[in-house]
Structure formats: C-alpha cells, structure tokens
Amino acid sequence: MRFTKMQGLGNDYVYIDGFAGPLPADLPAFSRAVSDRHFGIGSDGLIAIVPPTSAGADARMRMFNADGSESEMCGNGLRCVAKYVHDRGIVGKPKLTLETGRGLLTVDLEIHAGKVRRVRVNMGAPILRAAIIPVTFPDSPVVNVTWPLLRELAGGIATAVTCVSMGNPHAVVFCSDVATVPLEAVGPKLETDAYFPKRVNVHFVQVHSPSEVTMRTWERGSGITLACGTGACAVAVAGILTGRTGPKLLAHLPGGALELEWAGGTEPVFMTGPAVEVFSGDWPGDA
C-alpha cells in the first residue's frame, strides 16, 4: 500500500490515495497499525483521500485517529489533503472544495514554485448548541460553565469550560499558565467524561493579549498532539464568547502557529497555516 506522511504544525497523519486504487478493507485496523510510533510509520492517525460523494466537491477526506476511531474533521489534516490533491495533479485549481464529516469546506491555496505551502480554510460556522456538540451540561451555549471533573483534577489551575463544535466536539479551558497543566494525567479522564457522549478534544489556553494565545491539546483518540486545527478554531470562538480575545487571533501551538479569524454570530471561522509533505513509501503486507 503506497502512503505519504504529511504534517501541519507537527500534527502528522499517514495519507493514502483512493484515487489511485483500492484502499484497505479495514481502515480502523490499518490506522492503528500505521500510527504506532514504534512498530508502524508513526502518526496521529490515518487520512484517506477518496473521490467525493457530494456534487461540487473535488475530493473527500476520511480521518481516523491513532486508536482507529473515525473522526468528523481535522483542520491540519484538511490543509494537507488540499496540498496532496493539488501537488499530485488530482485537481489543479487554486481554490478547492473538500468533502468532510463536517460537510463541504472551501480552501484557498498559497502556491510557490508549483507547490502548496500554506492553505486558508473556511471552516464553517461554529456549532454552539449543547445537544449538537454534543455535551450534556444543562447550559446552552456552554460558556464559562463550571466543569466538576476539571475542578477535581486540575488542582485549582482552572474550573470552567466553554464548549464548541467545529464538526467535532471541543472543550476549551482558559488558565494562567498552560505549562503547569498536567495534561498527560488529566487528558484521558477529561476526554471520556460522561458529559461528552462522543468524547471530546480538550484544550488548555493561556491568553497573552486579545490577539495572541498559547494552547496545549489532548486530542480525542490520539492523546497529546503538537497541533489541532479544529481545536484552534474552537479556541478563537471561545475567546470571543468569553470576552478574552478579538476577531483575529494568532494561536501558538507546540508545533507552530495558526492564524484565525471569526467575525462572530453565524459567520465562518477561517484558519490559515502550513501543509508539509514529509516522505512517501510502501506499507508491506496484505493491506
């Protein structure tokens, strides 16, 4: 099975091309195998690039976490899908429409010497209704709501959460210093808290100014990751909803920075960041 490893701010995935031929029958098992950082290729998960099923789309992405669970969306992964589709000549346009679990999303490509370097993604409007995120807190929207398990685990670092869906569920927690958060210890418990029936991506955020933050992420199904594009979008939304940040935001993640824009209300969130190809190869066996 031919594969390509790509990364957006260190959020790395193994990409396989359904335009070129048949894919493995068991994609969750294939994701677990290739994602293993000791016995596989090593990645945060698997993304299959396949022909679209929706009219008007140029390509479709299916995204699987390292544990094999299928997720609705991945912002960093989507930028890399756009690069793959353009750079390999599958679709040779500077503006693409990509089919995701969130629906159809449009992307604008920054091209240098015939190759995509950066991608600006229209991520769609944030989803704030608790039942759709989904989250079972009685408040809707869930903005600065006390999270009992967070209060118990975080040792006073933070107690409140703001919940946003960007096609997948996010819990945004603001704190004074993200470096003090014991993310490896609290992440797995917060991800699987009963308030979140489909589990949740958890982000701890330190605000430096209305236009700049630093964030750390525990990603649903993958653990600690260097970046989360949908999570950064959720942070931009949560910052405005809680009065901490403005409509343009630079988010620093362990793998690099993302540029985010949200005008509020039902307007879409825009995310701009890099897409990088690392290497290609052949996965052995019966895949």
Whole-number Å distance between alpha carbons of 201 and 224: 10
Structure tokens at 265: 């209300």
Gap between the Cα atoms of 118 and 275, Å rounded:
6
Rounded to 10 degrees, what is the CA torsion of 175, 177, 180, 181?
30
Helix (H, G, I), strand (E, B) or coil at 230: helix
175 catalytic per annotation: no
Residues 84, 119: Cα–Cα separation, whole Å: 12
| Integer Cα distance of 53 and 7 in angstroms | 25
> Looking at 74, 80, 175, 233, which residue is catalytic?
74
Catalytic residue status for 74: yes
Q: Is 93 exposed, middle or buried (0-12, 13-18, 19+ CB in 10 A)?
A: exposed
**Residue of 80, 163, 175, 228 marked active site:** 228
**Active-site residue numbers?**
74, 228
